[in-house]
């Protein structure tokens, strides 16, 4: 089966993907997202901009074109210290959940 998703579509269960989901994200300048632990592998590709990604306690400067592989059970935090929006593309498997330090579970709508 072939399914074309235009620029506004993201692969996920509602659009026909059985196992994978992906989304394009914009991380505004000055954003500091809280650390969270993921239950699925993620492939995080930075399309434009620059970020600081702290993965398992080690901070990495990530620039456009870089890809970060985040293993299940890993804890990460994302920060955009720049003055411009950073744009990413993330691919993971359906069922992704993120758990914050206080135990709050976040299930992104695109990961169902």
Instruction: Note whether residue 6 is domain-resident.
Output: no
As for how many domains the chain has, the answer is 1
Instruction: Retrieve residue 39's tokens.
Output: 């239950």
Task: Please say if the pLDDT value at position 13 is more than 60.
Answer: no
CA 6, 7, 8, 9 torsion-angle sign: positive
Per-residue pLDDT reduced to its tens digit, 59-100:
999 999 999 999 999 999 999 999 999 999 999 999 999 999
Instruction: Note whether residue 13 is domain-resident.
Output: no
Q: 88 - beta bridge partners?
A: 25, 46
Task: Please say if the pLDDT value at position 28 is more than 80.
Answer: yes
pTM: 0.83
Domain carrying residue 81: 24-111
Q: How far apart are CA 89 and CA 23, in angstroms?
A: 6
Instruction: Note whether residue 8 is domain-resident.
Output: no
């Amino acid at each position: 089966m072939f399914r074309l998703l235009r620029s506004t579509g993201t692969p996920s269960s509602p659009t026909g993907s059985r196992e994978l989901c992906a989304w394009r994200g914009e991380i505004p300048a000055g954003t500091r997202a809280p650390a969270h632990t993921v239950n699925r592998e993620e492939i995080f590709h930075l399309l434009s901009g620059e970020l600081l990604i702290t993965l398992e306690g080690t901070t990495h400067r990530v620039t456009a074109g870089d890809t970060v592989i985040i293993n299940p059970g890993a804890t990460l935090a994302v920060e955009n210290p720049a003055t411009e929006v950073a744009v990413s593309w993330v691919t993971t498997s359906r069922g992704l959940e993120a758990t914050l330090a206080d135990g709050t579970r976040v299930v992104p709508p695109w990961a169902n």
